[in-house]
Structure 1
Amino acid sequence: MLRLAIPLLFLGLPVWAADWTLRPGEEPLSMAELDAFEGRTLTFYDDGQSRYSADGAYSYTYGSGGTAFGTYRIAEDGSICTAFDHGFNRCDLFVRRDGRLILIDEKGQRFPVRPDDGS
């Protein structure tokens, strides 16, 4: 019975792999920097907000309203993988370039994060 249960545990855990193509000057965040996301909210230039809670909960609030909920984990490659409650899964890689924090999605699109206002 246990042999059957263990593989079933992994069915609910999304597995992703992305080939992150970095541009010159882009440096992935360290694990310590990623761990520091815990309890933070990052705001993007479209007013969308990513919230990384201490218990692994995640929410994304759209600039136009509405929120998507899920859970996140930091993958071995340094990406942050999110499993949304509505069934969508994705991984993103955060990098720094010229002092700016940038999210790169699996499609290679880049979304700069607004500088923290200190609040």
Structure 2
Amino acid sequence: MRVLAAVLTLAAAPAIAQDWKSHSGDEAFDAETLTARLSGQTLTFYDDGRSVYDSNGEYQYIYGGGGTWYGHWAVADNSRVCVTFVTGVERCDRFVTNGDRLVLQTADGMRFPIRP
């Protein structure tokens, strides 16, 4: 019984962790609009890191100081984009607009604005 309780707790944890800590003015995307917004685009962050969302579903994160992580991206519900890296690790982040700025939110509440 304890094993079942532990498994159920772990299964529920991702849902609990994704509060997203939205700010006033945040506007989410529907899946179709977010797919169109990202497909074929390169987003540049203020640390010069770049996320490349190829239209064929391939993904690259290029660090500002060098180095690249490769994977595949897909739009999920609630304005989220999930990337499965070639290592098998998956992460899901949420995109919103706030005013005229595009912002990436991590599940733990960090916010990364995208350069215009």
Moved more, 19-28 or 57-66: 19-28
- 1:40 alignment partner AA: Q
Distance in 2 separating the partners of 1:43 and 1:20: 21
Shift of 1:76: 2.1
Give 1:29 shift. 2.2
Taking the aligned partners of 1:19 and 1:55, their CA distance within structure 2 comes to 30
Q: CA RMSD in A?
A: 1.4
Q: CA deviation at 1:34?
A: 1.0
Counterpart in the other structure of 2:60: 59
Deviates more, 1:75-84 or 1:57-66: 75-84
Q: Assess if the C-alpha contact under 8 Å between 2:76 and 2:82 holds in 1.
A: yes
Checking the alignment, whether the CA contact within 8 Å between 2:31 and 2:77 is kept in structure 1 is no
Normalised by the length of structure 1, the TM-score is: 0.77
Alignment deviations for residues 83-112 of structure 1 (CA, whole Å, 9 cap, x no partner) = 111232111111111211100011110000
Q: Distance in 2 between matches of 1:65 and 1:92?
A: 22
Equivalent in the alignment of 1:76: 77
Cα distance in 1 for residues equivalent to 2:84 and 2:91: 7
Superposed CA deviations along residues 32-91 of structure 1, whole A, max 9, x for unmatched, are 331121111000000000011111111100001010000111112220001111232111
Deviation, 1:28, is: 1.1
Aligned equivalents of 1:51, 1:93: Cα separation in 2: 16
The one-letter code matched in structure 2 to 1:29 is: F
Structure 1 counterpart of 2:42, which letter?
Answer: T
Per-residue CA deviation, residues 10-45 of structure 1 (Å, 9 max, x unaligned), is xxxxxx642322111111123333112111100000
Give unpaired runs (5+ residues) of structure 1: 1-15
Matches of residues 91-110 of structure 1 in structure 2 within 5 Å? Answer: 91-110=92-111
* Pairing 1:44–2:45 present: yes
For structure 2, the 5+ residue unaligned runs are 1-13
TM-score normalised to structure 2 length: 0.79
Aligned position for 1:25: 25
